[in-house]
A and B are shown apart, each in its own frame.
Chain A
Amino acid sequence: MVYGYAGKILRVDLSSGKIRDEPLDMEWAKKLIGGAGYAAKILFEEVGPGVDPLSPENRLIFMTTPAIGSGFPCGNKMQVVSRSPLTGIWGDATFSPRFALELKKAGYDGIVVQGKSDKPVYLWISDGKAEIRDASKLWGKETFETVELIRKELGDENIRVAAIGPSGEMQLKLACIMSDDGRAAGRCGLGAVMGSKKLKAVAARGNGKIEVADPEKIRALSAEAIKISMEKTQGLRNFGTAAGVLTFEEMGNLPIRNFTRGRFPGAANISGQRMAETILIRREACFTCPIACGRYVEVKEGPYKMKGFGPEYETIGMLGSSCWIDNLEAIAKANDICNRYGMDTISVGGTIAFAMECYEKGLITKADTGGLELTWGNHEAMVKLVEQMCKKEGFGAVLCDGSRIAAQRIGKGAEKYAMQVKGLEIPAHNPYRFKTMGLNYATGNRGACHNRGSPAYPARGILSPEIGLGEKYDGLSPVGGGRITKIHQDACALVDSFGMCKFMQFFGGLNLSMMTELYNAITGSNATLQELMKAGERIWNLQRAFSVRMGLTKKDDRLPERFLKEPPPDGAIAGQVVELDQMLEEYYRERKLDANGRPSKEKLRELGLDFVIKALY
């Protein structure tokens, strides 16, 4: 009996139209947990440096996790993995769609897609059967419209879908994959990979049961998790992830004017509290989630009239404060456009903030932007530009592939205003405020990401004593940052591949010892936390090794120079810079990375990744 996994992977070759089942490799499932961990081995073995991200040879992997199907609160995260067209290196995106549960109940832990179809298709998976179906009539449709058309065609309202919109079809490098329930596999441009394969959507429905080893234990742990998390997550429940806007502005963590300022007078206007008083219709929860940080909103009239899923903290930070915009209705509209076209709101916002700074500094003018005045705070221009980016029209065609490529297109030294690492836009947590986040962005496996390591958590009092992060530390200090960041990245690699939401895992108070008990109760293993953390480290190094093979070296582990040399003038981050080199040196020691940025042979052997050595050395 296999516990915690469906036990099968679906292999789909869109060039030949062939579909086959493959058993899940249980030895490696144990070593790499699931999700982006398990997928890392497939990607490493099958995608070499000569494979263009948008070519048929690239793989697009949808991978569920052991937590999915256990019924445990917030055990709902899965990953999509590929070589990223935005960054050229390791690409993954996590989301928690109900599609994940249906896929697993249909009998599959994951799907590995390769090849390219001649005509648009979608994949339909139902109780152990899979079928490639014609999607000619779906091509060109928005994400949520696609969902409805698939449900209608198959005659089942309960089918769950993850789809691309027109932006993914056009292979824009900021394109994401959206689920029917409004969750986004947002980052790294994986929607473009899907578009390159002419794969419009994946749809699933399953009636199977995922067997777990100890259901009684899971029930007991679930009750405990709900008990400890409810008070801590009250702010998230009441005000969504945007509950953080006011607090983060006060602390200096909010991105403001493309990370040049520490104070934003308009913060209250774009806060989750303001959203609750104005456009909020209802709260939304992912499956098995008692927190419900999601929002559903309506702007009833005016130019920003919309009804749909509401903006997250990240979206508000990037399309709002980072563009000096305090118009919540405009942000909600821009968010809705991105959701419908299938674009990553973090990178879209970061790229528009970049364009605004270029405009303010005179690098681009109205002649370049087709008349748009990209001044700080111009929400009309922001919404227009979002639409243009999603459609690859007007000045949007310059920006639609992210700030790194846009800077090349603009020239004139614009790259210094592109707040990105390895091509991925820096999200809405400010490295000036939490220095370790700067290091985490510089070294993150998919580029600048706040979720593949959240070393600011201990600085914010969210402690993990079981893994040596039991003391609250000063977020403005770089001391010990290398060690803290390394540990937290490994922990996040583990938590993501296990499938637990970090609002339960860290923020909600579910500690890693409880997670270990849960992992054992689901899979029937007898693992220690130390062994699971080793798995996290193994996952991190395997993903890193993939990127090293794609050409990544130590010189890529950088932040934009701004953070090292330009102290902001105001707020709690006034006068601060990020002491990156000091932290990076310690980090390299802790990780045992060599001078070129490769995982050392000793480290790879220690982790049982001997097959990687041959490829890297």
Chain B
Amino acid sequence: MRVKIKPLGILRDLAEGAILEVELKEGATVGDLIEELDRRYRGFKEAVMKPYVTIAVNGREIEFAKGFETELSDGSIVAFLPPYAGG
């Protein structure tokens, strides 16, 4: 299956703004995706595993789903969101 990753925050710099698509095996979780991205982009895991980075699947924070065990499906959109404001 393929999941899409929105180029926001740290990934915007690492992937130079492109929307990433990553091929994962069926049943892969958010945790698996982070491992995969860390293999591609050195320092990715360290950059996103911070309390103020929100990880969302289809706009929904994973902490209100199953955390890093949240399962992904074909076409899922995953975002690693920096602290966000907007006045």
Contacts and interface: CB of A to CB of B under 8 A. Distances in A.
B52 A250 contact: no
B85 A241 contact: yes
A204 to B, nearest CB: 25
Nearest to B57: A572
8 contacts: A236-B85, A241-B87, A244-B86, A247-B81, A250-B81, A503-B85, A572-B56, A572-B59
B83 A507 contact: yes
A364 B32 CA distance: 52
B40 interface: no
A428 interface: yes
B87 A313 contact: yes
Given A273-B12, A461-B54, A250 B86 contact: no
B83 A572 contact: no
Nearest to A247: B84
B59 A251 contact: yes
A243 B81 CA distance: 11
Contacts of B82: 235, 247
B25 to A, nearest CB: 25
Given A247-B9, A248-B86, 13 more contacts: A232-B52, A245-B86, A250-B77, A262-B59, A312-B87, A313-B87, A314-B87, A460-B84, A461-B83, A472-B63, A474-B64, A507-B83, A572-B60
Interface residues of B, number: 23
B8 interface: yes
B56 to A, nearest CB: 6
A312 B79 CA distance: 23
A291 to B, nearest CB: 10
List 5 A-B pairs, minimum CB-CB distance, nearest first: A572-B59, A244-B86, A313-B86, A247-B84, A241-B87
Contacts of A472: 63
A479 to B, nearest CB: 12
Give the residue among A241, A251, A314, A451 with the most B Cβ atoms within 10 A. Answer: A251
Contacts of B85: 233, 235-236, 241, 243-244, 293, 313, 503, 507
Contacts of B83: 232, 235, 461-462, 507
B45 interface: no
A581 B6 CA distance: 36
- The A interface, classified by DSSP as helix, strand, loop or mixed, is helix
Interface string B5-29: 0101100100000000000000000
Contacts of A241: 85-87
A462 B84 CA distance: 10
Nearest to A433: B59
A11 B64 CA distance: 54
Given A273-B12, A461-B51, A250 B87 contact: no
Interface in B49-87: 51-52, 54, 56, 58-61, 63-64, 77, 79, 81-87
Given A474-B64, A571-B59, A572-B58, A243 B6 contact: no
A270 B54 CA distance: 22
Nearest to B86: A244
B58 A247 contact: no
Contacts of A572: 56, 58-60
A507 B84 CA distance: 9
A101 interface: no
A472 B51 CA distance: 11
A237 to B, nearest CB: 11
Interface residues of A, number: 37
Interface in A290-348: 293, 312-314, 317
Contacts of B79: 247, 250
Contacts of B58: 571-572
A245 B85 CA distance: 9
A232 B82 CA distance: 9
A247 B82 CA distance: 8
Given A247-B82, A461-B52, A474-B64, A252 B59 contact: yes
Contacts of A250: 6, 8, 56, 59, 77, 79, 81
Contact of A246 (B8, B51, B56): B8
Contacts of A314: 86-87
Contacts of A503: 85, 87
B86 A251 contact: no
Contacts of B60: 476, 572
Contacts of A252: 59
A544 interface: no
Interface string A476-497: 1000000000000000000000
Contacts of A273: 12
A603 interface: no
A429 interface: yes
Nearest to B51: A461
Interface in A534-590: 571-573
Contacts of A460: 54, 84
B8 to A, nearest CB: 5
A251 B57 CA distance: 9
A242 interface: yes
Contacts of A293: 85, 87
A244 B84 contact: yes
Nearest to B84: A247
A57 B60 CA distance: 51
A92 B6 CA distance: 39
A261 B58 CA distance: 15
A45 to B, nearest CB: 32
A262 B58 CA distance: 11
A502 interface: yes
B55 to A, nearest CB: 11
Nearest to B59: A572
B6 A246 contact: yes
Interface string A493-528: 000000000110001000000000000000000000
A602 B20 CA distance: 59
A166 B87 CA distance: 26
Given A232-B52, A572-B56, A572-B58, A248 B84 contact: yes
